[in-house]
Chain A
Amino acid sequence: MRLKPALVALPVLLALSITACGDVKDDGNDKKATSSSSSCDVADLPLTTAGKLTIGTDSPAYEPWFTDNDPTNGKGFESAVAYAVADKLGFEKGDVVWTKVPFNNSYAPGPKKFDFDINQISITPERQKVVDFSDGYYSAAQAVIVLNKDKVEAGSLADLADLKLGAQTGTTSLTAIRDEIKPKTAPVVFKDTNVAKQALLNGQVDAIVADLPTAFYITAAEIEDSSILGQFQPTTGTQEEFGLLLGKGSELTGCVNQALESLKSDGTLAGLEKQWLSETVDVPVLK
């Protein structure tokens, strides 16, 4: 019976490693939201970095939500809203830090590297089980973009069912295609809006569906000779709204909602919408 000493030591080491790894730090994401009880002074806010407000968004940051792919300039609707919220919370412009968060990382478990994420994220009940959302800061309609040369005519959602449609993954636009339009050929799904635009130009899809402000920007500035065929509101569920995304049970949610509330009541939010997002009245509504 020649047992190597290493073999005897191994179980011991394993036992030690269990006890050593057993007490990992709690990431603080499981705490109960205490929105109303705590104050919303900057000093009392639970921040990722003390004294700074860290805001996440995806890269590239698209127009008209951001301009020049630069969230820090305060231009573009979401950049402006983010700074307005920061201002209401009591942060100087210089104390706002932006961080790049790909959409599919924004809902990852574990500690967040942002205080809130602003990235045209629609509020849905299913998502609310995993993250916290602020109240909505914008209500989006869906829009259908076509190339003018394709001479697509549609007066109703039913007319769209014959087209080959495309939309970006994980968006409510895609869900709208699947649940509302129910096209005869399965929709083409894109990783991002750029691939979708190229596919439309290449004739790989007949039309792409995106939220109305994005559609306005694409037709006005990005694809020549394209136009919005029409807009529609998904009839299933409630009016779709974009919300700021926070970690589940974040103590910041209440304060962010207070900030948004006052931005709504003093008309700032409506003003920003007017300033950055085009008027939506002249687009035909598809029923």
Chain B
Amino acid sequence: MTDAWAPSPRELERQQVRRGLRRKQFLIAAGITVLAAIAVATIVGTSPGWERFKELFLSWHHAKEAFPDIAKGFWINVKMFVIGEVIILVVGTLVAVTRNTVTPWLTPLRIVAVIYTDVFRGLPTLLVVFIACIGIPALGIEGVPTDVTTLGIFALVLCYGAYVAEVIRAGIDSIHPSQISSAEALGLGRAQTTRYVVLPQALRRVAPPLLNDFVSLQKDTSLVASVGVFEALFAAQDYGNYNFNYTPLLVTGLFFLALTVPLARFTDFLGRRALRRERGR
């Protein structure tokens, strides 16, 4: 008796009821969403200031005029973000690993790592940017770069390195001790255990929160505008301040969304995939 399994009539009935329920829920969801959208559009469209708002925030002419400068500025944002991200990952991993070492010889390094994460997680990023970009050149040390973009990347690395170090450390701590014991049983040394057993698993586990930090880093590249880096947001503000129009700000917003939304979707996908794997289905 190895008949292929066929759903019982009752199961079929169940499935049909479920399908009906799903359809009903979908219709309600769609209906209410459309209604809400219409409501918002009506409120906005009939507001007394709508015409003025359109002139100041949705002017096609100003959007076109400001576009080249914003695009040029956004290239700076992208460069800072990409270069910064690579360095931040390295710094974060080094700091996290340092904090998890146990030998007494490395105590000074551990103290430095703890102070670093505490201080730079607690300081407002804007303040670090100011001190790095204006303070460091003021010292006038030979050979130290005075270029604000470089110093801006340095400031962002300092701040985000501390955040990312903590995320990675949490990942390392979440690896079960049995993994380390197994590695030792196989004859791997401490460094090898960290390199081949702990870190790969830890990094995979914290990928979603890491990506979250990187989305936030993309936005924070705008902070360097305060010291004179002419990035996208600053280009938009500059145009707006001269022509008294806010449209370029929205254009900049679209630029940033074009970068951050795909990354956010990707983050979600990774998170869901990890969940699926953990649940085994």
Contact = CB atoms under 8 A, between A and B. Distances in A.
B35 A104 contact: no
Nearest to B241: A170
B184 to A, nearest CB: 53
Nearest to A204: B146
A198 B138 contact: yes
Contact of B36 (A14, A103, A171): A14
User: How big is the A interface, by class?
Assistant: 35 or more
Contacts of A186: 230
B238 A24 contact: no
A110 B52 CA distance: 9
Nearest to B148: A204
Interface stretch (B2-10, B89-97, B200-208, B242-250): B242-250
A202 B131 CA distance: 13
A7 B27 CA distance: 12
Contacts of A129: 244
B244 A127 contact: yes
B72 to A, nearest CB: 9
Interface residues of B, number: 37
Interface in B204-243: 225-228, 230, 234, 237-238, 240-243
A254 interface: no
A174 B242 CA distance: 9
Interface in B234-275: 234, 237-238, 240-245
A169 B225 CA distance: 11
A213 interface: no
A103 to B, nearest CB: 6
11 contacts: A11-B35, A15-B39, A26-B48, A27-B48, A29-B52, A109-B53, A126-B244, A170-B242, A174-B238, A202-B137, A202-B140
Interface of A: 1, 7, 10-11, 14-15, 17-18, 21-22, 24-27, 29-30, 103-104, 107, 109-110, 124, 126-127, 129-131, 166, 169-171, 174-175, 186, 188-191, 195-196, 198-199, 201-204
Counting from the closest, the 5 A-B pairs by CB-CB distance are A170-B241, A202-B137, A130-B244, A107-B244, A169-B238
